[in-house]
Structure 1
Amino acid sequence: MNGIGAWLVARGIDVPDGPELVEAAVALGIIGLALIAGWAAARWIGPALVSMLGERTGFQGTPILPRIAPILRHLTIALMLAIANRLWPWSGLATLLIGLVWSIAAARGVIQILRGLRVVGGLAWAVGLFVFVAIFTRAVGGLTPVTELLDSLAVQVGSRRISLLDLVTITIAGVTLFAIARLTNKLIAHSISGSRAFDPTQKLLFQKLAGIAVVVIAFFVGIDLLSIDLTSLAIFSGAFGLAVGFGLQKTIGNLIAGIILLMDRSIKPGDVIVVGQSFGWVNKIGVRAVSVITRDGKEHLIPNENLMTQEVENWSFSDRDVRIRIPVTIAYSSDMALAQQLMMQAATDSPRVLKSPAPNVWMTAFAENGAAFEILVWINDPESGVGNVKSDVLNRLWRLFQDHGVEVPLPQRIVTMKPAPLDQPLRASDAALP
């Protein structure tokens, strides 16, 4: 070993001496303990943390839950090595070993967090690389050389100097604020949805307002962190105001209309509405449009502004009970009293027809082909369809009519031919006929 050391020294290669090797061995032992602690945290604490977050937060079914154990492992290793680096003035090879493992663990933890929050993979890896470089250079001597290098690579745009350090800072700040805003919005939305003090419409309104507030706060925090002078954006803000006034007026109008709809609760998720040719139940009220799902499974996106300016039928605004009219015509030769009893029986036997209010049968007219009746029934689940209730009642009624001899008339026309009088002379046009 002494021969190899002398050979390396003779060629200008610095070889650690005895105390430095001992310090490096101690550092390796601490790194080993940190790795064991990270593995134990992911193995024993990770599942319990996943279960708790799944029950008490809105992370159930999100990509971050499967990453909780790896995140816990990497952050535990990084935290222990950061404490070790702080408690003892390491030098030489020990500093290099601790800094390398510490920076790798922190970078991998950050990448797992960003990927769990649905940040684009390339952007997440770029932030992880920056974290690795920042922590490693800090561990081995400081960030000053790196920041000076990034700041030296710059271009002049007008009167402003833009360096690579500025771009890296903006990117890191933007990704960090995006992740924090997304996480905060998720927690607030879950907290509001679990509250019993609000109905579903109020919960949806407060969730949307909270989401807007989080975005606005994140924007101004980012402006403050990047030290951007808002007075320099005066011209841009004026142009943006004109764009909103002319090009984005429909978008802003739909946003405000959606908030108003949620505030006055005239239309709520689950309501059955009719707007123009669209009939269905409200799935959700978005920022731009209301999603209405029809019985055909089609989803109509109706702009919020249309619901504010057009006539809308809301079948479940104040009461979910809806009355359905089913027209029936029977022949005049049939027993009218028996036919009405059979109509009542068919309506009562239908499973979706309510017993209270009770069904009713009205005679509406003596029509051209027979006596016209209307069966009036009530349902309280219009989102399940109306035509299927009519079909069920009419099918039951047809079988009852067949069993009891009640006839449903067919269209009839009676043509009476009157012969011409014998003493009436023929017209010239009649004589010309063959």
Structure 2
Amino acid sequence: MVTWEEFLKALEATVPQLVLSLRALTQPSGIVQLLILILATALAHYGARWARPHLENWVRAQETSMRRMRFLALVLRRLRIIVFVAIVWLAVVVMREVTWPSRSYLLLVIGNLAAVWVIISISSRIIRNPLAARTVALGCWIFAALSILDLMPQAVLLLDSMAFQVGSLRISALLILKALVTLTALLWLAGVLSRATERRMERVQDLSPSMRVLAGKFARIGLFTIAVVLGLQTIGFDLTTITVFSGAVGLGLGFGLQKVVSNLVSGVILLLDKSIKPGDVISLGETYGSITSLGARYVSVVTRDGREYLIPNEDLITNQVINWTYSDQKVRLDVPFGVSYDANPGIVRELAAKAAARVSRVEAHPAPVCHLTAFGESSVDFLLRFWIDDPGKGVVNVKGEVLLALWDALHEAGIALPYRQHDIHVRGPVELVYREPLAGSPASQGESPAPQGESRAPQGDRDE
């Protein structure tokens, strides 16, 4: 354990070195190095400005993979600092040939810091999250800078001296930093391995789709658990201390994460009973679409209009779900229609069945059938039934194709499609009586209001 007194002693030993380094800048060799740095900055600015258009044209003319194109684009964005590093290193080599190596120390440090920043900034782009990429790049560069400047021992002493005691456990800033770095690296590695395992499971044809997903999820949970345990043990954390807080943490999770746990358990149940699997076409309420993935918390369903719904696993357990492809891909569809009473029902049934059979997506076995269902108010009602084996391609569109084929077939046969109509019967004549306008009314002043009339029933129809 490092105390503040030990850290201050180390800092006092470091200060003279810093003072000597600052004094060296006032010496002729230090001034020469500063002038070389200023000259290198100017040459890098104008050199990169001249070379960038030519290099961009050369990159656009290359026929290569997208990954390599991204790498070349990252290099071009940092062309100025790359040219600066090259000039500084060249100056270091020349100065070491003509004078003492100590007289090029500043140039070497600045060049190494700039080179490390270029390498880290390009390498961190493999992280897709921009904030995480910047954080990792900054952390790695600080670590490299402390190593280059020989300040790492002092930094370690400072972080270790910032500590507090919890019972017999001493927690320092250095311990927390080690834990974050170790756990982040192990969790990232676990994520990479779990994704590779899931992709490998997807190619195993001997397993059903739900079992592939279940095996991939168990592998992910196991890898992340191993990563956390190894990370804590690597930094010297005693895992037995976790048992002290396990009861309180478990109670808090039980209340605060009740829905999350319910969705996790529901997801495992769905995978075990194989009621739904990737590729199934389901209906849940107003949502109709195809399942693209089964997550730990939700199921992704893509509808025919391209919308992606994330449905919690619990809803699929507690609500009624229609799985159009659970045991068989074949689905029967019904299309009701009506014809005029002048049509022959037998001919209509035959025409409707043949019209549906001409549609490409309609199955030939079982063959389409048409039933007479009712004698309606203005039409004879029929129900056309047919089967399809690709509900994932949509249901409304195939119904529309069948209706168009039915329309053409009925019109070719001269069979009318009725529409709702009402007949009004007048029992007797209506007598209109015109009355003279009263004085002061608009009509008596020259205006022409709409004529008023009243209807009176014929003498024989009046009530006594």
TM-score (ref. length: structure 1): 0.67
| Cα distance change on mapping 1:356 and 1:135 into 2, 3 Å | farther
Is 1:156 aligned to 2:156, yes or no? no
Is 1:250 aligned to 2:259, yes or no? yes
Number of residue equivalences: 349
Q: Which residue of 1 aligns with 2:222?
A: 213
Q: Which amino acid aligns with 1:168?
A: L
Q: Which residue of 1 aligns with 2:137?
A: 125
User: CA offsets, 1:263-292, max 9 Å, x none?
Assistant: 222101221112223222222222212122
| Cα distance change on mapping 1:66 and 1:201 into 2, 3 Å | farther
Shift of 1:353: 1.1
Residue of structure 1 aligned with 2:351, choices 342, 348, 354: 342
Contact 1:188 1:210 in 2 (8 A): yes
Is 1:372 aligned to 2:373, yes or no? no
Shift of 1:220: 0.7
Once the two structures are superposed, the pairs formed by residues 387-398 of structure 1 within 5 Å of their partners are 387-398=396-407
Cα distance in 1 between the residues matched to 2:173 and 2:193: 30
Is 1:273 aligned to 2:279, yes or no? no
Cα distance in 2 between the residues matched to 1:245 and 1:356: 53
Q: Which has the larger radius of gyration?
A: 2
Aligned-residue CA RMSD (Å):
4.1
SS of residue paired to 1:306: helix
SS of residue paired to 1:212: helix
| Cα distance change on mapping 1:312 and 1:99 into 2, 3 Å | same
Q: Where does structure 1 lack aligned partners over 5 or more consecutive residues?
A: 1-10, 14-49, 55-59, 69-91, 420-429
| Cα distance change on mapping 1:110 and 1:237 into 2, 3 Å | farther
Q: Which residue of 2 aligns with 1:181?
A: 190
User: CA offsets, 1:206-229, max 9 Å, x none?
Assistant: 222222212111111111112222
Contact 1:269 1:283 in 2 (8 A): yes
SS of residue paired to 1:172: helix
Q: Which residue of 1 aligns with 2:300?
A: 291
| Cα distance change on mapping 1:150 and 1:413 into 2, 3 Å | closer
Cα distance in 2 between the residues matched to 1:272 and 1:244: 34
User: CA offsets, 1:24-62, max 9 Å, x none?
Assistant: xxxxxxxxxxxxxxxxxxxxxxxxxx99xx9xxxxx99x
Contact 2:156 2:174 in 1 (8 A): yes
Shift of 1:103: 8.7
Question: What percentage of aligned pairs have identical amino acids?
Answer: 33
Q: Which amino acid aligns with 1:121?
A: A
User: CA offsets, 1:41-89, max 9 Å, x none?
Assistant: xxxxxxxxx99xx9xxxxx99x999999xxxxxxxxxxxxxxxxxxxxx
User: CA offsets, 1:363-417, max 9 Å, x none?
Assistant: 2233333322211111111122212222221122222222221022233556889
Q: Which amino acid aligns with 1:247?
A: G
Residue of structure 2 aligned with 1:403, choices 412, 415, 418: 412
Q: Where does structure 2 lack aligned partners over 5 or more consecutive residues?
A: 1-22, 26-63, 76-100, 429-459
Cα distance in 1 between the residues matched to 2:183 and 2:321: 43
SS of residue paired to 2:182: helix
Shift of 1:144: 4.4
| Cα distance change on mapping 1:334 and 1:387 into 2, 3 Å | same
Q: Which amino acid aligns with 2:394?
A: G
| Cα distance change on mapping 1:169 and 1:130 into 2, 3 Å | farther
